[in-house]
Amino acid sequence: MTAIDYPERTVPAPVPTTLLTDTWYLTGRKLHALVRQPWVLAFSVIQPAIWLFLFGALFHKVIDIPGFGYQGSYLAYLVPGIVALNAMSGNMWAGMSMIEEIERGTLNRLLVTPASRLAIMNASVVEQAVATTVQTLIIVVLGYAGGARYPGGVTGIIVLVIAAVGIGVFWGALSNMTGMLLRSREAIIGVYTFFMLPLMFLSSAFIQTSLMPGWMQAIASRNPLNWEVQVGRSVLSANPDWAGVAIRCGGILALALIAIAISVTTFRSYAKNV
């Protein structure tokens, strides 16, 4: 009886992964979900568009107040403020997605894969950055269609987007931390409600800080949202104050990195308890 030699089955070698490749694939997963639901991105721009044209029409005479000190239309003045508000308000809800992934068990399934823990958080940050970039560009285009002009040109718009992404990452990371710690949608809504309106009116989004009471000016000077508004308004002007822009962008970057570090620490604590 002749023995039959079967060819040996070759087991494919595992594909090596790195932090970069893991981040790439996990970000792609999140962006594919966003592409499948484009209405989510569209609806997130509706409120900023209403703010832009409603407040732009309602307060268009404000620019004539003596001492207002802005060369251009009020709509052009308003655009950086609306961009900043959108970056903050849109990313404050990031924790909702984190809670949803926890409840569905998706996050726990990812934790048992070889994927880097840091890559899981990086994917969330990159997704937020992409969404904020798209929304910011839409607001800029809507403002231009309404008559706003940007003497700072393409360079100014790029810096505006970078600053918006920075402030969005800052609030998104804090929201993710809140979602993992409290796992309560009500808590995220409470944080949003507590911070949104005060920070909005304690900034130069709608009016120059020089026209505010002294105590409000003091708070506005330390308000990260106001830093982003001032950066955007400066870089879109004909004569940007690049020194001031660099200082404020540095402050936003520092806050974003601190928030990410806190969020990652919270995530690692969660992963240990799974």
Q: Report the candidate in 78, 24, 72, 28 with the shortest Cα–Cα distance to residue 49.
A: 78
Task: Quote the pLDDT of residue 11.
Answer: 47
pLDDT reading at 5 higher than 60? no
Q: What pTM does this model have?
A: 0.85
Rounded Cα gap, residues 123 and 28, in angstroms: 8
pLDDT reading at 61 higher than 90? no
Rounded Cα gap, residues 268 and 260, in angstroms: 12
Evaluate whether 149 touches 66 at the Cβ level (below 8 Å): no
Residue with more model confidence, 116 or 274: 116
pLDDT reading at 221 higher than 80? yes
Residue 265 identity (one-letter amino acid): T
